[in-house]
Structure 1
């Protein structure tokens, strides 16, 4: 594999302290692929996108098999913040409208709402107990007064785009809403989405796919893909999977040579999370953050956080340009510093859980679902920009539709991504971008 970060970033180190693994036992991994297996459709990657594609294909009677390098949900799908919400593009609506037009934007807004609804439907249909809460949607908190000043216009635009009432919460109202903090200057609440346990969801999604007839080969890293006549041959260490159609669903854990078309078209970026011990009601009251809603701030290098049902507090952030052990320790120090600054009443509260992983960006700062280069009967879905719980699940359904000729893709998601400059060294773009974002966030 040709990946662009240090090997540590793709190993067990970054996920070793993941809180979600204390909440549910992962089942024993299925045996790796051995010898020669065949399928109508081969899927690479057993995260939300790959499993959703496999489930939706299997439901229609398609013979589908998934190859996963590690275990189900081992990547971002099993270690994210558990925000089932709108999103998936880093570019602004204004920039996307200039490029794609108002009709495409209406389709994009509809797709985002549908993605949240799809996750809710799958949870209900398959009886997946994923500790759902925060069903009032998500809250954006202004980290500067000038950001709050823009909320009135933004609320009107969001209400129009998504057909919901969007509430603006003034600085003096924050405490009454349980959103107090020394660096918060008002908030905007969008009532779409909910929070849950992401690992329980991905494990449930895998179980549903298996029940529908999909096969999942774990510990089955794909080392090469080649075309033989009308079939794809996926090589593994101990066997191969042969299929007429192919879906690539590896997102931030992709490789530049699987296939070569992927080289430079995606950029993994790091996201890190810590979780506190259980907080007492007195500690919660002392800080004044009593809301159990999903929240994030207005920074470009945003923080995202929520109080969970068991009264542990989850706090995440973006950043980090290296992925070695020392870089991981540096990230842990930075996230703890930011946590204490934003929630000072909890400065002495232990945070026993810390982990990190890769989200995935595209050069145009928008997601992609479509053909895998010029390969026939092959498709890819990636670049959820840190909002892949809902959109990745939805993209899996879109990919299943492409494989069966039964669905189109929203125009904004269908345009192929351009390559980043600098090729395999493209992560060198991140330090400058992060420095610029940091300056912008302070201004």
Structure 2
């Protein structure tokens, strides 16, 4: 496999101290592929995208197999911050309007809203208890001048999502439970909710098997070949032959499985701290009592939320390597940022820290469509850190494209991603990009 990061990124070390596995009794072990199998549809990757596609296809009567290198939820779907919210594209409205026009841009933004509703419906339909909370999401201005950013976003939300946002002034932040010396105002968009991603992804896996789909764990695909018009997927223990193939590996993809992926996605690392449970006195001392999911206006943003068990989850972007030294350095940075934003919690332990890979597209728009140059092959990827909702919905959209039934895929999501200019060396742009964004965040 040709992958971009150090081997540690694809091993157990980054999630050795993840909080999410401690919230479930056990992660079900799905056995590996043994021998030869023949199915209608094979899906590589048992995360939000792959499992959503599998669920819809199995429910439609297709013979579906999901192949996972580890176990369901091992990748980004089981290690993210649990923000089910609007998002997916990093490109702004003006960029989308220029490329796709008014109607298709509006259809894309409707898909972002539909993605949130899709996850909520799945949780309800399959009775998945995922510790949900938060009435929408709140964006916090870390500089006084970013109040203008909040006002502009409010106007955009009214136009693109037909929703009214609430602007919270600096003077009223504390009484709303958002007390921190870091912030100068906030904007709440009343769409979205927070969840436990591990409980969600394991619930999806259970729903897939109940619908008749099969999931094989410990089955990394080492080769994708073809035979008599069918895809042949080779694993260490056997093979799967399928008429239709879905590749749903996102940030954990390889440039050669299939080769079309080469250069079309850029994995970047996100990192999360979680505290021990906070006491009522500690919450009061800081003045942060809101259970809203929040993020700030930085380019290299922080995202955080007080969870139902009174632990604070705190995440950040910015790491450029996955090595033991880099992991320790990033944890120290995360801890320093946490203490600056929540100074009354400097004494609070943060026993959990982990990291994972998300994926960016060169055009800064997600993709859900065919793999060019391969018959009956599909992929969805590049959710720009918003994979809980958009990654889930993208899997559903792929299923709809394959069986011809279900929600239509907006044009922006069907626009094939361009390759990054530096190809296999594209990760070299990250130090320059992060330095640039870091300088902007100081201004």
Pairwise TM-score range, normalised by the shorter structure: over 0.9
Tell whether 2:98 aligns with 1:109.
no
Matched, 1:420 2:425: no
For 1:199 and 1:100, locate their aligned partners in 2 and report how far apart those are by CA, in whole Å.
35
Q: Is the 2:44–2:50 Cα contact (8 Å) retained in structure 1?
A: yes
Displacement of 1:97 in angstroms is: 1.6
Alignment correspondent of 1:30 = 30
- State the shift of 1:172 in Å: 0.7
SS in 2 for 1:25: coil
- Off by >4 Å, runs of 4+ in structure 1: none
Is this contact kept in 1: 2:133–2:195, CA < 8 A? yes
Q: CA deviation at 1:160?
A: 2.0
Q: Note if 1:57 corresponds to 2:57.
A: yes
> Following TM superposition, by how much is the alpha carbon of 1:102 offset from its aligned partner in structure 2, in angstroms?
1.3
Distance in 2 (CA, whole Å) between partners of 1:412 and 1:138 is 24
CA shift at 1:402, angstroms? 1.5
Measure how far apart 1:368 and its partner are. Answer: 0.5
**Matched residue, 1:179:** 178
Matched, 1:273 2:280: no
* CA displacement, residues 298-348 of structure 1 (integer Å, 9 cap, x when unaligned): 001000000011110000001111111111111111111111111111111
2:242 alignment counterpart: 243
Counterpart of 1:213 in structure 2 is 212
Distance 1:383 1:262 in 2: 12
Q: Is the 8 A contact 2:265 2:361 kept in 1?
A: yes
SS at match of 2:131: coil
C-alpha RMSD of matched pairs (Å): 0.9
Higher mean alpha-carbon deviation, 108-117 vs 20-29, is at 20-29
Shift of 1:180: 1.3
Q: Distance in 1 between matches of 2:335 and 2:421?
A: 33
Give the drift of 1:161: 1.2
Q: Residue deviations 1:34-63, cap 9 Å, x none?
A: 110111010000000000000000001011
Residue matched to 2:96: 96
Which structure 1 segments of 5+ residues have no match? none
2:129 aligned partner: 129
- Equivalent residue, structure 2, for 1:167: 166
For the Cα contact (< 8 Å) 2:274–2:311, is it kept in 1? yes
Q: How far did 1:382 drift?
A: 0.2
1:226 aligned partner: 225
Distance (whole Å) between structure 1 residues aligned to residue 149 and residue 77 of structure 2? 33
Task: Encode CA deviations 1:151-198: one digit per residue, 9 max, x unaligned.
Answer: 223212212211221111111111111111111010000000011110
**Alignment length, in residue pairs?**
442
> Structure 2: how far apart are the matches of 1:75 and 1:423?
23
Q: 3-state DSSP class of the match of 1:286?
A: helix
Partner of 2:342: 343
Return the alpha-carbon distance in structure 2 between the equivalents of residues 392 and 149 of structure 1.
Answer: 30
Distance in 2 (alpha carbons) for counterparts of 1:50 and 1:240: 18
What is the SS of the residue equivalent to 1:433?
A: helix
Partner SS state of residue 325, structure 2: helix
| Structure 2 unpaired stretches of 5+ | none
**1:220 Cα deviation (Å)?**
0.2
With normalisation by structure 1, the TM-score equals 0.98
